[in-house]
Amino acid sequence: MTEDLSALLARTEAELAAAADLRALDAVRVAVLGKSGSLTALLKGLGTVPAEQRKDRGAALNRLKGAIEAALDARRVVLDAAALDARLAAERMDVTLPPRPFAAGTAAEGGIHPIARTMEELTALFGAMGFAVAEGPDIESDWHNFGALNIPDHHPARQDHDTFYLPEANGRRPVLRTHTSPVQIRTMITQAPPIRVIVPGRTYRADHDATHSPMFHQVEGLVIDRGITLGHLKGCLVDFLRAFFGISDLPVRFRSSYFPFTEPSMEVDIGWSRKTGELGQGGDWLEILGSGMVHPKVLANCGIDPREWQGFAFGMGIERITMLKHGIPDLRPFYEADIRWLRHYASSPLAPATLHEGV
Amino acid sequence: MKFTLSWLRDHLDTEAGVDEIARTLNAIGLEVEGIEDRGAALASFRIARVIEAVQHPNADRLRALRVDVGDGRELSVVCGAPNARTGMMGVAALPGAFIPGTGITLKAGEIRGVKSEAMMLSAREMGLGDDHSGIVDLPADAPLGESYVKWAGMDDPVIEISVTPNRGDALSVRGIARDLAAAGLGTLKPWSAPAVAGAYKAPLNWKIEDPRACLWVLGRAVRGVKNGPSPKWLQDRLVAIGLRPISALVDITNYFTFDVGRPLHVFDVAKVKGTDLTMRMARAGETLVALNGKTYALTEEDGVIADAAGPEALGGVIGGEHSGCDEGTTECFIECALFDPVRIALSGRRHDVRTDARARFERGLDPAFLPDALEAATRMIIELCGGEASEVSFAGAEPAWKRSATLRFDRVRDYGGLDLPADESVARLARLGFAVQARDAEKVTVAVPSWRNDVAGDLSAYRAGGGTLTQFEGLDPARAAKAAEGQAAIEPECDLVEEVLRLGGLDAVPAVSLPAVAVIPPPAFTAKQARAALARRVLAARGMQEAVTFAFMEAKTAALFGETPEALRLVNPIAADLDQMRPTPVASLLLAAARNAARGFADVALAELGAAYRDITPDGQAAVAAGVRHGATPRHVAAPSRPVDALDAKGDALAVLDALRVPMAALQVTADAPGFYHPGRSGVVRQGPKTVLATFGEVHPKVLAALDLPGPAVAFEVFLDAVPDPKRRKKGAPDLPPFQPVRRDFAFIVEEKVAADALLRAARGVDRALIADVALFDVYRGKGVPEGSKSLAIEVTIQPREATLTDAQIEALADRVVAAVVKATGAVLRA
């Protein structure tokens, strides 16, 4: 760049730095790039430059134009931000003012999400059976989510979990919990038996399609006591399922299965009609939850002697039982916060789930 | 795992039909995923012969056929197929038959004056594909009158079951048959493998260079083989379960994988370099071109089978392309090996190879079955491909897998919940192959069969799954040791209880309601959980719709709302816009508001009880009751619509805190809310100098612009973990003085910057006993008030305590109020 052009750039930059507001900025722009601006004049004068220098001169002018435009833009961002700050400062309000004595909406317009409603119902029903609600973090250690539950690193069951991982920290790899079962572990470590807890909560798996969401909800149940048998597990689940779905003779079927953290393990089906979706009749079976007697290794991992204490655990998908109970056909809208869907499926905040009013 | 009914019957002598088999499989833990009975819909169709095909007298495009349907009748059929010709064999449907491809039940009729008493079928009409170019053209030797389905080999239902990770033995038709027989559904047919004498010395030797790579391996060659296509029955079976027939040798190895659960590999001896096959760990930089055509970069943790040229197979996972058998193979070498399940699982996962071999090896195979499997495979190869077998070469040895387990009979009742006679428990175990070693009145000790790696396994046995104890690090050592001892003592017995229960089906266990802990149980919620439930209801009662949103979002968007540490960014997000654990649920709710606005619903009020993530520790996850309001309040005759503002959000936050019994009078509002709020229209609700209970305010215009929200939007966060438990359950005595309160109004002119709260506090502080309440009831700017100032009007409620106050006393108090306000705020009393 020749001397005259360097000088023009330096001068413009100085003027831009001095421009205190957008109006001043625009004045600089017009003075350089406007119809009779200094750079515009140089560009117009290009025709008078000797042919052999014209190419170099033209290129230099273009570079200069680019540099000036960039400087203008940079300054504009700064001034825009300052203008916004000034506007916001002028808009200051007294936030110590008391709020309105009434809300912007009413209970008739508001609503409780169906997932929260189901959790309330779970709490009411299992609460009646002496269960307390336990909670745990979404971000878990590999040990809480897998190792303690008898799922070592190489276990084929890990493939089914589609785990989300967070960056390794201190040689350990945190995960987003793939089930609510790690809270079993937390409870057994911190609490001496007898234990009766349910754990409703968020869970995460790297799976996203019409029937899977990367975030969903499960409820875990854990009972540890003396003399608890598989018969109690069946009784507890039958009692719950019939009360939850409000069908006193709901058919419930138990099938042998396998989970690393229970033994014996079983999957539980309820009777329904595949054709109509109606529960309780129709002769078809719908898998609804997994369960089993807590594996001796899991007890021992938490310091509980399996010769003395035994019990059961179960886990089910909250969305699944919610969809079944209310006939909600699609999983994905649960998380989309579409106000039309929410209004349609929400329950009233003034009618919480209680046993005496009915869940 | 798929198999056909006839295949199952190779191993199981049973009268049971498909439905009963399926029911039993479900009950014993081999869940039926589906049953495909390809032939059921076609059962009535017969093979027929076209005696004569001539042009239809009254239609150009139709033909008139005389058809022999095999029962002695000769029927007239009108047919539109261009390929219908005299003498051809085809498939006929008779009136009353349902035609799956058209969905119509066939009726006899007359078409343009010619009777049509049957129908000749195309493949599409039978639902067997898209071919509708003509009627099915069968070979000339197809048996007239025979069921088409039977002739075509489609009368064999395919059953698919899902096999749980503990049951490697059930990944074989024989294993399934064994379980069904044990459950009482028939008899397991004997299976034996008579030895094939070796005619020559094995051309290849096994070497186990590293025991991590392989525990035990056998092999033998068969020379003079002809590797053509395998016979139709074998191809049919493989096709039925979804495999592609390749060549006789390869099909035989696949057949063994599914038939007896024994993966094998066959090398082409001519392609192996040198005379040694070595089981060793891969060396850095080695690669393998596998049978699936992919090239794998091996690691030093992978066990391989190598010849002089390098790795020829990723042992137990996938074979190599180079040394596999093909049509030209004349001498093959069968590999029958036992690998460490853990290493197979990790290698398979590392390279993302899912093969039938891996699925079996990683679950654990029968460690005693190798010699028999090799003999049987040799025999089958000679049967189908000819040739003669070499001697067996081997390396390593059968692992010490033998172990026993003891069942106390009362544990079936006291653990399993089923009162079962001891004899029945023993009989069930025996049927599963557990041999009784000792028995008395209380207990039985059985030997665990070699194929059940999931029962009574420990580290000394060859087994998969399970895993050892990984006890919590913080346990008291004595407690940990006692628990570990208990586990070692009791686990094998639990395994046996499971087997005993499983065979009878768990439906046999009576359901027993849980014993009550107390007639009236204690509350299920802790105080903190109850607070969250109440907060949820308070917000919904204020017109907010509760939402549930994802806890992760795009990092760039999250950054508008707070810190987005790398530690909270998912390593493997499901989508690029779901990778950062959110700093606040407000972010998710504003995104939701933007989606609603884009759909034409701009005026929304959304709340969520969700987490904000600060770090990866449990304490780094904060429970937040958050909400956003966007747009305007509804239009109504009684209350005009107005844009939402910061005081709406403040009202929401304070309503939650009030419901949670936070002492409201002691709260302070400061103007240092997070950066996603409008700096001049937001606040932080504090209890004392350190505890932040809530934030509220208008959303920053920059955030609105970034989220494409038209605005205005307000938001709040209530930090539920920070809300203290109420001090007492019982309330103190109410304040019920007998004297009437006196109310006096004051108006002060103050500078704009003075917070109304400061003025109210100054007035309240004058006399804590006599001044019961101070309330702001008007803020005025305009005529009579200088520019840059505002008028604040307050009502002071004076509550006499001892006696009615005299006018003079009231005036004196009023003067003190004015003085205190003036002193605190620089106010001027408005005349």
The domain defined by B205-396 folds into Phenylalanyl-tRNA Synthetase; Chain B, domain 3 (3.50.40)
Pairing of strands B604-613, B545-546: parallel
Interface of B with A in 542-601 (CB under 8 A): 542-552, 566-575, 578, 581, 589, 592, 595-596, 599, 601
Question: SS3 for B359-428, per residue?
Answer: HHHCCCCCCCCHHHHHHHHHHHHHHHHCCEEEEEEEEECCCCCCCEEEEECHHHHHCCCCCCCHHHHHHH
Task: Work out the pLDDT band at B540, boundaries 50, 70, 90.
Answer: very high
Task: Work out the pLDDT band at B462, boundaries 50, 70, 90.
Answer: low
Q: Do B648 and A342 touch (CB under 8 A)?
A: no
Domain range B2-37+157-188, its CATH number among 3.30.56.10, 3.40.50.620, 1.10.10.10, 3.40.50.300: 3.30.56.10
Chain B residues with CB under 8 Å of A204 CB are 551
* Cα–Cα distance measured from residue A306 to residue A296, given in angstroms and rounded to the nearest whole number: 6
Taking the CA atoms of chain A, what radius of gyration do you get in angstroms?
A: 34
Average pLDDT over residues A161-169: 91
pLDDT above 60 (res B464): no
Cβ B381 vs Cβ B225: under 8 Å: yes
Residue B466 has a pLDDT of 43
Average pLDDT over residues A44-54: 82
Cβ B750 vs Cβ B826: under 8 Å: yes
Interface of B with A in 445-504 (CB under 8 A): 464-472, 474-476, 479-480, 482-487, 489-491, 494-495, 497-498, 501-502
Q: Do A143 and B470 touch (CB under 8 A)?
A: yes
Average pLDDT over residues B530-551: 97
Q: For residue B783, with 0-12 CB atoms within 10 Å meaning exposed, 13-18 middle and 19 or more buried, which class applies? A: exposed
Say if residue A263 carries a ligand binding annotation.
yes
The domain defined by B527-722 folds into BirA Bifunctional Protein; domain 2 (3.30.930)
pLDDT above 80 (res B439): yes
CB within 8 A of B753, min separation 6: which ones? none
pLDDT above 80 (res B28): yes
pLDDT above 60 (res A85): yes
* Cα–Cα distance measured from residue A97 to residue A42, given in angstroms and rounded to the nearest whole number: 60
* Cα–Cα distance measured from residue A71 to residue B497, given in angstroms and rounded to the nearest whole number: 80
Maximum separation of any 2 CA atoms in chain B, in Å? 130
Chain B residues with CB under 8 Å of A126 CB are 524
Residues in chain B: 831
pLDDT above 70 (res B391): yes
Tell me, yes or no, if B341 comes closer than 8 A to chain A by beta carbon.
Answer: yes
Average pLDDT over residues B508-526: 94
* Residue predicted with more confidence, A169 or B657: B657
Cβ B144 vs Cβ B88: under 8 Å: no
Does B2-37+157-188 match B404-506 in CATH topology?
yes
Interface of B with A in 413-452 (CB under 8 A): 413-418
The domain defined by B742-829 folds into Alpha-Beta Plaits (3.30.70)
Average pLDDT over residues B340-352: 89
* Cα–Cα distance measured from residue A316 to residue A236, given in angstroms and rounded to the nearest whole number: 14
* Cα–Cα distance measured from residue A7 to residue A68, given in angstroms and rounded to the nearest whole number: 12
pLDDT above 60 (res B467): no
Report the share of chain A in percent with pLDDT over 70.
Answer: 99
Tell me, yes or no, if B636 comes closer than 8 A to chain A by beta carbon.
Answer: no
* Cα–Cα distance measured from residue B454 to residue B403, given in angstroms and rounded to the nearest whole number: 12
- The domain limits of chain B are 2-37+157-188, 40-151, 205-396, 404-506, 527-722, 742-829
Residue B459 has a pLDDT of 47
To the question of domain B404-506 being in CATH 3.40.47.10, the answer is no
Angle between helices A3-18 and A51-90 (to 10 degrees): 10
Q: How many CB pairs under 8 A join A and B?
A: 415
Q: Which two tokens stand for residue B462?
A: 């060859």
Residue B458 has a pLDDT of 57
Residue B465 has a pLDDT of 39
Q: Own/partner pairs for B653-656, CB < 8 Å, 24+ apart? A: B653/B685, B653/B694, B653/B695, B653/B696, B653/B716, B653/B717, B653/B718, B654/A99, B654/B685, B654/B694, B655/A103, B655/B538, B655/B539, B655/B542, B656/B535, B656/B538, B656/B539, B656/B625, B656/B694, B656/B718
* Cα–Cα distance measured from residue A325 to residue A114, given in angstroms and rounded to the nearest whole number: 10
Interface of A with B in 206-265 (CB under 8 A): 206-208, 214-215, 217, 223, 227, 229-236, 238-239, 253-258, 260, 263-265
Average pLDDT over residues B265-284: 94
Pairing of strands B677-687, B667-670: antiparallel
In 3-state terms, what secondary structure has residue B74?
A: strand
Segment B786-806, tens digit of pLDDT: 999 999 999 999 999 999 999
A84-93, A105-114, B218-227, B516-525: the lowest-pLDDT one: A84-93
Which pTM value belongs to this model?
Answer: 0.86
Residue B460 has a pLDDT of 44
Q: Do A164 and B611 touch (CB under 8 A)?
A: no
In 3-state terms, what secondary structure has residue B679?
A: strand
Question: SS3 for A219-276, per residue?
Answer: EEEEEEECCCCHHHHHHHHHHHHHHHHCCCCCCEEEEEEEECCEEEEEEEEEEECCCC
Average pLDDT over residues B613-635: 96
pLDDT above 50 (res B830): yes
Q: Do A111 and B633 touch (CB under 8 A)?
A: no
* pLDDT, averaged across chain B: 92
CB within 8 A of B816, min separation 6: which ones? B766, B767
Q: Which of B28, B345, B494 sits opposite A263 (nearest CB)?
A: B494
To the question of domain B40-151 being in CATH 3.40.50.2300, the answer is no
Tell me, yes or no, if B194 comes closer than 8 A to chain A by beta carbon.
Answer: no
Q: How many CB atoms neighbour CB A167 within 10 A?
A: 14
Please tell me which residue of chain B has the smallest CA distance to A301.
B471
Helix ranges, B76-165 (H) = 148-151
Q: Which of A95, A263, A339 sits opposite B604 (nearest CB)?
A: A339
Task: Work out the pLDDT band at B103, boundaries 50, 70, 90.
Answer: confident
A77-91, B193-207, B544-558, B563-577: the lowest-pLDDT one: A77-91
* Cα–Cα distance measured from residue B798 to residue B745, given in angstroms and rounded to the nearest whole number: 11
Cβ A345 vs Cβ A114: under 8 Å: yes
Task: Kindly provide the b/e burial profile for residues B406-429, where b requires at least 16 CB atoms within 10 angstroms of the residue's own CB.
Answer: bbebebbeebbbbebebeebbebb
Q: Do A96 and B683 touch (CB under 8 A)?
A: yes
Segment B113-135, tens digit of pLDDT: 899 999 999 888 887 777 778 89
B391-405, B463-477, B516-530: the lowest-pLDDT one: B463-477
Chain A residues with CB under 8 Å of B680 CB are 88-93
Task: Kindly provide the b/e burial profile for residues B276-292, where b requires at least 16 CB atoms within 10 angstroms of the residue's own CB.
Answer: ebbbbbbeeebebebbe
Q: Do A109 and B605 touch (CB under 8 A)?
A: yes
Which residues of B define the annotated binding site for Mg(2+)? Answer: 454, 495, 498-499
